[in-house]
Amino acid sequence: MLIIIDKKIPVEAKEKLKEYGELLELETKGIVYDSISGHPDIFFCQLGDSTVYAPNLPEKFLLPLQERSIKLIKGELPLGQKYPETAKYNAVFIEDMLYHNFRHTDSVITDSIGEADLTHINQGYTKCNLIALGNDNFITSDEGVKRTLERFDKNALYVNPEKIILPEKKHGFIGGCCGIFDKKVFFIGSLSHIQNGEKIKQFINESGLEVVELYDGPLFDGGSLVFSN
Has residue 119 got a pLDDT over 90?
yes
pTM of the model as a whole: 0.96
Average pLDDT, the chain: 97
Distances (CA, A) of 147 to 41, 60, 87, 122, 135: 23, 40, 21, 11, 18
Distances (CA, A) of 80 to 13, 42, 132, 192: 29, 11, 26, 36
Q: Which domains does the chain have, with CATH numbers?
A: 2-228 (3.75.10)
The confidence band for 192, taking pLDDT boundaries of 50, 70 and 90, is very high
How far apart (Å, rounded) are the C-alpha atoms in residues 229 and 222?
20
The string of pLDDT tens digits covering residues 142-177 is: 999 999 999 999 999 999 999 999 999 999 999 999
pLDDT of res. 139: 98
How far apart (Å, rounded) are the C-alpha atoms in residues 36 and 146?
23
Has residue 229 got a pLDDT over 90?
no
The string of pLDDT tens digits covering residues 75-106 is: 999 999 999 999 999 999 999 999 999 999 99
The confidence band for 16, taking pLDDT boundaries of 50, 70 and 90, is very high
The confidence band for 32, taking pLDDT boundaries of 50, 70 and 90, is very high
